[in-house]
Amino acid sequence: MNYKFLILWIILIYSCSEPVVVNTDWGHYLGDAHKSQYADVNQINKANVKNLSIAWSFSSKDVDTTNRSQIQCNPLVIDGVIYATSPKLKLMAINAATGKGIWEFDPFDGQYDLYGMGVNRGLAYHKDKEGARILFTASDQLYAVDPKNVTVIKEFGNEGKVDLHEGLGERSAELYVSSNTPGIIYKNMIIMGTRVSESTGAAPGHIRAFDVHTGEMRWIFHTIPRPGEDGYNTWPDDAYLKSGGANVWAGFSIDEERGIVYGPTGSAAYDFYGGDRKGDNLYANCILALDANTGNRLWHYQTIHHDMWDKDLPVAPNLVAIEKDGNEIDALVQVTKNGFLYVLDRVTGEPLYPIEEVDVIQSDLLGEHSSSTQPWPSVYPVFSRQQFTEDDLADRNDEAASFAKYIYETTNHKNLYEPPSEEGTIIFPGLDGGGEWGGAAYDPVERDLIINSNEVLWLCKMDKNEPIAKGEGLYKSFCQTCHGQEFQGNQLFGNVPSLNNLKERLDLTDVTRIVKNGRGAMPSVSWITDGQITAIYDYINGDEDPSKKIINDAWPYPYRMRGYMKLYAADGFPIIKPPWGQLTSIDLDNAKINWQVPLGNYDELESQGLYNTGTENYGGPVVTAGGLIFIASTSDEKIRAFDKSDGKVLWEYKLPAAGYATPAIYAIDGRQYVVVACGGGKLGTKSGDAYVAFALP
């Protein structure tokens, strides 16, 4: 045989075909334990991405017809099977090559409307000699499900589930505790964070590890320190008995070789007033490095002292390699809502470049104890605007310009750390970033970080807790933040329903059940009494005597934030000039921006000649070895592929509903796929219940 001819023939065949790919899983939430959001597969590349088309679409058939359901799940893909969740938090298995449903598991046994709440952003998978198991959360329970026989593993916890209140203390038993983001597997443990209330009545956000086989708690780290623990002196003495928050709601990353787990914590509750929590409040707003075997603290870095702006760390840090001064450093990059990158040595926690403590404006609210300084990173560029100036005022039409000028002239907006105030303080970038929970993608070859971000003004206005009718006071304390001062709801914030004409739709029994149990995106507020719910119900329906004024003892602070308010003009768009959403590539070795482009568009504004606006966005990017960035996330309901080298859009497709989720990329039998959850239900967009996968013809 002429082997030389055979070799040349093989080279010729492969040079004329698409790159050969081997089977590639997406085995972790956001790709891997380092949260890289990277796929080492290149069949789909810059030359052929224009030919992408739908390979399959799968519908769970449980969309909310009132457009208040979502899917934020970044699915797992393991051995040819997709594991994902539906809008009603059903766990589903789907054939990853055909999109045909294999099985589903309903944690609520058909009673989601009674007991279901929250969203699910992903799953965890563990396999050893005892078999495989999927660990996922629904409402306040952590489930272990056997994917082979589609039942809970009864040896895990209490008949297959662990209550997420476990280990948080007696006072937390009736408080809201859930988990939107999956825990992370290390050896035979799952390390869990939680979502807790951001208001009064918040549970502590302690980090726990549970045995994946038995559900037994293996260790706990107290994010609100107890007597004798480091950080205790950064709170009032009794804080550990009554304070809440400081929780890891955004997930973890792990350096498996070193056995270090990294957790980004959120702010302490109450989010916008800290008169009862004097001090820096460790370990809120911290990058925490813990020994993954024991939960012992190795180091921490606090990104905000005594947070009053709800500036939680929104995503687990990316574990990366960076070259500095000729040396390669194992580092981490923490994306923030403020548009900063905190870049630290992942072993020691030392910043790669100086992070300076800068003087900030002090609060004038009664009893508040704001920090005199805040940490401000140097060298690494910011990826969002941080200052609201007169040059930013919208000028697309007279109405927008007039309202923007009014806001500029009547609010506080001197700098990034302007304290909340009675006059009203601008939060910019907004409470949803800057960066958000979709995460950043890291290309380990070029050492670039890809980040999507928001730039929208929010208004934080504080009201004094003065004598007021009981129901009105309770409504303003617990409901107004989301449902609005006039019961109008908030379709742009999260498709929060209006409460006008409530009596015609829901009786007091229905409302009591919803408040106590939660429903959909609304958390449970189980500790409110039946009498308080009745008072709120009467106030909403106009049946309360407004002259009977009392001090609202259920609200323990002298101030309350009036409500989450994004600032839009009458035309429904932000009151600042675009871009309102961006995609940014940052060279980590050289600490510079490679490129920055608007992300998303509005057909309505383009018809008026306003292009390249970007849109608000939720969910993150994925980068591939084919030189591409895939991202959905935008309110124009599209998924796009960008050229990683320059940020040009190479392909886009209109989804059946907006993809507010991070895609997953995988390969089966030599074919590469991109799949994204199309759940919609935010920013005023319709809800959906589909997973859509794309591939080359």
Assess if residue 605 is contained within a domain: no
The Cβ of residue 572 has, within 10 Å, a number of other Cβ atoms equal to 12
Assess if residue 505 is contained within a domain: yes
pLDDT at position 18 is: 53
Q: Which of 40-49, 269-278, 546-555, 668-677 has the lowest mean pLDDT?
A: 546-555
Query: Mean pLDDT throughout 182-210?
Result: 97
DSSP conformation letters of 541-565 = TT-S-TT-EE--TT--SSEEE---E
Q: Are 217 and 167 in contact (CB under 8 A)?
A: yes
Assess if residue 510 is contained within a domain: yes
Query: Mean pLDDT throughout 325-332?
Result: 97
Of 88, 93, 55, the residue nearest 69 (C-alpha): 88
Query: Mean pLDDT throughout 187-207?
Result: 96
Query: Mean pLDDT throughout 406-413?
Result: 97
Quick check: 314 pLDDT over 50?
yes
The Cβ of residue 35 has, within 10 Å, a number of other Cβ atoms equal to 30
pLDDT at position 259 is: 98
Assess if residue 533 is contained within a domain: yes
Assess if residue 660 is contained within a domain: no
pLDDT at position 346 is: 98
Residues with Cβ < 8 Å from 541, sequence gap 6 or more? 502, 503
Assess if residue 514 is contained within a domain: yes
Assess if residue 506 is contained within a domain: yes
Average pLDDT taken over every residue of the chain: 94
pLDDT at position 470 is: 84
Q: Which of 78-92, 460-474, 596-610, 653-667 has the lowest mean pLDDT?
A: 460-474
Quick check: 9 pLDDT over 50?
no
**Between 44 and 491, residue with greater pLDDT:** 44
pLDDT at position 103 is: 98
Of 501, 696, 690, the residue nearest 69 (C-alpha): 690
Quick check: 527 pLDDT over 80?
no
Of 261, 196, 271, the residue nearest 564 (C-alpha): 271
**Residue in this structure with the two tokens 């004598």, named with its chain if needed:** 467
Q: Are 657 and 637 in contact (CB under 8 A)?
A: yes
* 121-163 tens-digit pLDDT: 999 999 999 999 999 999 999 999 999 999 999 999 999 999 9
* Percent with pLDDT over 90 in the chain: 81
pLDDT at position 240 is: 97
pLDDT at position 443 is: 98
Query: Mean pLDDT throughout 677-683?
Result: 96
pLDDT at position 96 is: 98
**Residue in this structure with the two tokens 């550990």, named with its chain if needed:** 240
Of 514, 482, 512, 519, the residue nearest 498 (C-alpha): 482
Assess if residue 322 is contained within a domain: no
Query: Mean pLDDT throughout 419-428?
Result: 98
Q: Are 347 and 438 in contact (CB under 8 A)?
A: no
pLDDT at position 10 is: 40
Domain of 477: which CATH number?
1.10.760.10
**Residue in this structure with the two tokens 């900063």, named with its chain if needed:** 340
Query: Mean pLDDT throughout 398-403?
Result: 96
Residue 387 tokens read as: 């200052």
Residues with Cβ < 8 Å from 485, sequence gap 6 or more? 476, 562, 563
Confidence of residue 492 (pLDDT cuts 50, 70, 90): low
Confidence of residue 268 (pLDDT cuts 50, 70, 90): very high
pLDDT at position 276 is: 96
pLDDT at position 494 is: 63
Residues with Cβ < 8 Å from 212, sequence gap 6 or more? 126, 133, 135, 144, 156, 185, 188, 189, 190
* 343-397 tens-digit pLDDT: 999 999 999 999 999 999 999 999 999 999 999 999 999 999 999 999 999 999 9
Gap between the Cα atoms of 520 and 62, Å rounded: 12
Confidence of residue 486 (pLDDT cuts 50, 70, 90): confident
Structural domain boundaries, residue 521: 466-554
Query: Mean pLDDT throughout 207-214?
Result: 98
**Between 228 and 508, residue with greater pLDDT:** 228
pLDDT at position 376 is: 98
- Provide the number of structural domains found in the chain: 1
Confidence of residue 598 (pLDDT cuts 50, 70, 90): very high
Residue 67 tokens read as: 């457009």
User: For 303, left (φ over 0), alpha (ψ -120 to 50), or beta?
Assistant: alpha
* 279-301 tens-digit pLDDT: 999 999 999 999 999 999 999 99
Query: Mean pLDDT throughout 214-230?
Result: 98
Instruction: Report the Cα–Cα distance between both ends of the chain, in Å, rounded.
Output: 36
CA distances for 127 relative to 78, 91, 145, 146, 147, angstroms:
11, 18, 12, 10, 11
